[in-house]
Amino acid sequence: MLAVLRGQNSLNGNIHAMNYGETLRYDGEGVTLHQADHILGAAQVLVEDRDGARIAYTGDFRMSKTIPIEADILVLEATYGSPFQVRPFRNIVENALVSLVQSALKNGPLYIFGYHGKLQEIMQVLHENDVEAPFILPEKVFLTAKVCERYGMRLGKVLSADEDEAQEITKRNEPHVAFYHMNSKRYVGTDALRICVSGWEFSGPRRQIAPNEHIVALSDHADFKELLQYVSESKPKLVITDNYRVGDAIVLAREIEKRLGIPAKALPS
């Protein structure tokens, strides 16, 4: 996956591929990867130092299929770290997406915009719900889909946009689903029905923002309540909320201390 998304050069250097549950030991310390429910290949990391201290880093995760790691120090993602960022409707989002796609395909092609990994999960959701229209993908999305299929994901009829069949389907404007990275949203599919999948939606499972455009609240991150649940089950002595990327790490650290009574700090400060 890294070779597809970052280029073959990203695999150069001293790299050791690890399976979930495997421990790599070096100089009296151990590193173990644990599965995280995010995109294909996502992992939590547990470091055990020579004194027996357990330091866990969650990485990005959804709570539904992620087993919390008990740790002394927990480094926690904080993408949706605000008390206002909860999704009580999360169990019906996939049904809302499938219903919208099935309805749109009756009128022709549609475009779905999202990020790598999430796009392939959407293909799997649609395939599992008997959406039989072909999926047409630009090169990087297609290559990522092929990696996902290699590791067990079932995505349905996936075509590269460069294939003759895909070009004929597009030329004849036949019903199909085109999947593009969110960065392409301004440039492609402007005349078709468009669906953007985004975790930054908290008002409901889907929302129409233009005559031909909808947002579906499909997220691959834990919401605020699930982040607190993870901390509670991890039972750490200290929590570090990840303030390196976008999110509400400072707010989350404050809420962890207030609600759970566990010392917490956002880093980097």
pLDDT digits (tens, 9 = 90+) for 179-201: 999 999 999 999 999 999 999 99
Taking the whole predicted model, whether its pTM rises above 0.85 is answered as: yes
Count Cβ atoms within 10 A of the Cβ of residue 45 and give its class: 0-12 exposed, 13-18 middle, 19 or more buried: middle
Rounded Cα–Cα distance for residues 236 and 4 (Å): 36
pLDDT number for residue 80: 97
Q: Cis peptide before 268, with omega less than 30 degrees from 0?
A: yes
CATH topology agreement for domains 2-85+222-267 and 90-216: no
Closest CA to 260 of 241, 242, 233: 233
Output the six-digit token pair for 172. 């004849």
Could you tell me if 82 and 224 are in contact, meaning their C-beta atoms sit under 8 angstroms apart? yes
Judged against a pLDDT cut of 80, whether residue 26 lies above it is answered with: yes
Judged against a pLDDT cut of 70, whether residue 6 lies above it is answered with: no
pLDDT number for residue 1: 57
Could you tell me if 161 and 167 are in contact, meaning their C-beta atoms sit under 8 angstroms apart? yes
Strand partners, 140: none
Average pLDDT of span 78-100 = 96
Average pLDDT of span 228-234 = 98
Judged against a pLDDT cut of 60, whether residue 8 lies above it is answered with: no
Judged against a pLDDT cut of 80, whether residue 95 lies above it is answered with: yes
Q: How confident is the model at residue 88 (pLDDT cuts 50, 70, 90)?
A: very high
Domain ranges, ordered by start, for the chain: 2-85+222-267, 90-216
Average pLDDT of span 200-229 = 96
Which residue matches tokens 């039989």? 132
- Determine whether domain 2-85+222-267 maps to CATH 3.60.15.10: yes
Triad 228, 232, 238: Cα angle to 5°: 95
* 121: Cα within 13 Å, side-chain hemisphere: 16
pLDDT number for residue 245: 84
pLDDT number for residue 7: 57
CATH class of 90-216: alpha beta
Pick the residue with more confidence: 235 or 90? 235
Provide the H-helix boundaries in the chain.
Answer: 2-6, 93-105, 118-128, 139-150, 164-171, 224-234, 249-260
- Sorted by sequence, the CB contacts under 8 Å of residue 138 that are 6+ apart come out as 160, 161, 180, 181, 184
Output the six-digit token pair for 31. 């590193």
